[in-house]
Chains A and B, each alone.
Chain A
């Protein structure tokens, strides 16, 4: 192993892991603090295991179980795995794309030794994250006086760690074998998300329950380590998968010609290279997409749009169908959900179809998906051009900075609207297919408010990028504000002292009026729109007053 490759990789990645795991730890703390004062024991015993699974909550627990379940089983596991995927995909293929792998191999090292060092740093950084989460879970209950009887923190942390390695090594294997970083990370994320949904949803229906075993996520959550402790069979399965993926990478890394510093080939490029399709493709992918700044910006993010709008459309179609499969007794049980649990899914009343849609689509999934797009687009609109050092060239053309911002904002609005529309159409279509009566106007209202809220956070990211010229600062800062806003909206109302503050959250302007049952809240919509417009307007002077980074 190469100690300096190892330490450099750790240094590059440690900060992200620290931020990620400490945030999850802090959320565990807040979550436990909010749940502590609420008597949930009675309700908790009556909840069906299926719905608990979806929310990552282990059956048989209490305050500690809910908090550890929601924060660790779901968000913690996704965070650790997400960071492992990004490390795995970058390890070899990323260095190749950046042209630094050749530089590294200019020294007397073999490819496999580099790979080993990269794998060791992936394991170490993930272990650090897991240790931090373990530490929080040991310390926080003590501070808050929460009883941890029956909760096996070590088991869940070990399972989370191994689970993250599975996806990290899957990304490593795919990216290293092909030399394509985006392929590695994209496929690993897809396997993870599909696995999560499959492993959580399939067990609800009895005759499909066994199919859950085909998903890797099942070997993480299926044995319910929070209350049942370590399941050695599942642990071995996770370890075995990681090893197998690593073996693929080990063979793959030495097998092929290395790429030079390069840009990824898209399907458009292949069609443009083919003489038969070249003429048509040049018109579509060439001159059309560079006809103006907004369209060029849109084309840069087209992949992201296709994926996110696709996810929302498919979720929209499938959730109503899923609702119609849920047995009647289930909805009766759901009516007895405790407020605290309801808060976790954005305050939705799951016993009605509208409430179910809100819990499964509108309160978390749709905002997260939409915010990823608007925040990334907002943060990169100006700061991204500066970081790529293309701003000087762009501004050598006779355009004003206001015009530049307007164009960038156009593309952001179009994308947010497209995702809102995909969510609306998917859900509407799903409701028709499933034969569930739903008000089209209310669905549209929720989708419009959703879009406007997404734009507010996109506008914030734009303004931060305009002010500082750093896209990571802009997206990280905005994501932090968004998380806080969600927390304010969903958890503050549980406590009398905090409840009035919830109204400050953009999430409250979006869902507070319950648009899925109440229809369009025009005032809330107007406020969201005004805040967005103000943030965009503010970006102009922030951008103009500053020296551009060159």
Chain B
């Protein structure tokens, strides 16, 4: 992991008149990681991205990409960044290949062999006019434009919109490969399952505030999961009530079913020191519930 962060923001703030779209956002995205940026519609995800890319000017605060100032060094930054805007629009009368040619001419140094590889992997059709493509197929062209110069930092705003599940998988694989090569990936999304699958860390933004930055594993340990414990004899519900993180207990005969978001080793210690544990099964932590909890808190405030 490089010492220079892929993206760094310091007290990044953006107001539109009275509307505070982004408030004091402090964030580091490292090289070599996929950073998932989550939040409900209108939370400020796109505002953050467009501020970092110098498309809009922050009201206060600043941002860096690869250690360069987002405003002063905007042009040099773009040499190292691949960007996919949300609600992608392109020139409808150009074909996909025209788009790729146009942008590689503006950019220079694009390896067309690599473009062919991307076309293969995403099963894109570059011969049709982009105005005649379905939204998913148009999105593939946008992905190729973002990936084609092998950028050091990839910034993607709602990238998998309209993609079919197979292509989504392939795309997620490409993101992982990019991170594995030591590049930084910033993935704004509200598709929770995608972020869960591909991201190393996630930031959650709500009403312009960054409310949490966690590793996905960390979130997982926080997640409420269902634990089934089988014993060789009857058990008392009260035995487990003292364990931190136990939310709900249903006991029948030799079986206890718990909703649990605490540390597993403590639960096991309590279970094995009082009874003879025969079997244990847990259901995968449901991150979706965790995210929704963050979102809902926003609504309450």
Contact = CB atoms under 8 A, between A and B. Distances in A.
Interface of A: 261-264, 266, 269, 286-287, 289-293, 296, 300, 388-400, 545, 547-548, 550
A398 B75 contact: yes
A395 B85 CA distance: 11
Contacts of A293: 106
Interface of B: 46, 50, 53, 55-57, 75-76, 78-79, 81-83, 85, 87-95, 97-99, 101-103, 105-107, 129, 131-132, 142, 145-146
Given A393-B145, A396-B53, A388 B98 contact: no
Contact of B56 (A394, A398, A547): A547
Nearest to B100: A290
B78 A286 contact: no
A292 B105 contact: yes
- Which 8 A-B pairs give the minimum distances between C-beta atoms? A263-B131, A290-B102, A389-B89, A547-B56, A396-B83, A397-B106, A398-B78, A398-B79
Contacts of A261: 131
A261 B146 CA distance: 26
B85 A550 contact: yes
Contacts of A389: 85, 87, 89
Nearest to B79: A398
Contacts, number: 93
Contacts of B53: 392, 395-396
Contacts of A296: 91, 102
B104 to A, nearest CB: 9
Given A395-B78, A396-B83, A290 B105 contact: yes
A251 B9 CA distance: 62
B129 A395 contact: no
Contacts of A287: 98, 101
Given A396-B85, A396-B146, 7 more contacts: A264-B93, A287-B98, A296-B102, A388-B91, A390-B90, A392-B85, A547-B56
Nearest to A394: B106
Given A396-B78, A550-B55, A550-B85, A262 B132 contact: yes
Given A263-B93, A287-B101, A293-B106, A400 B88 contact: no
Contacts of B78: 395-399
Contacts of B131: 261-263
B88 A550 contact: no
Contacts of B46: 550
Contact of B85 (A388, A393, A400): A393
A290 B50 contact: no
25 contacts: A264-B93, A286-B95, A287-B98, A290-B94, A290-B98, A290-B101, A291-B101, A292-B106, A296-B91, A300-B93, A390-B90, A390-B91, A391-B55, A393-B90, A393-B142, A395-B53, A395-B55, A396-B85, A397-B78, A397-B103, A397-B106, A398-B75, A547-B55, A547-B57, A550-B46
A545 B54 CA distance: 11
Given A392-B85, A395-B78, A398-B76, A548 B55 contact: yes
Contact of A286 (B50, B75, B97): B97
Contacts of B85: 389, 392-393, 396, 550
Contacts of A547: 55-57
Contacts of A390: 89-91
A296 B105 CA distance: 11
Nearest to A387: B89
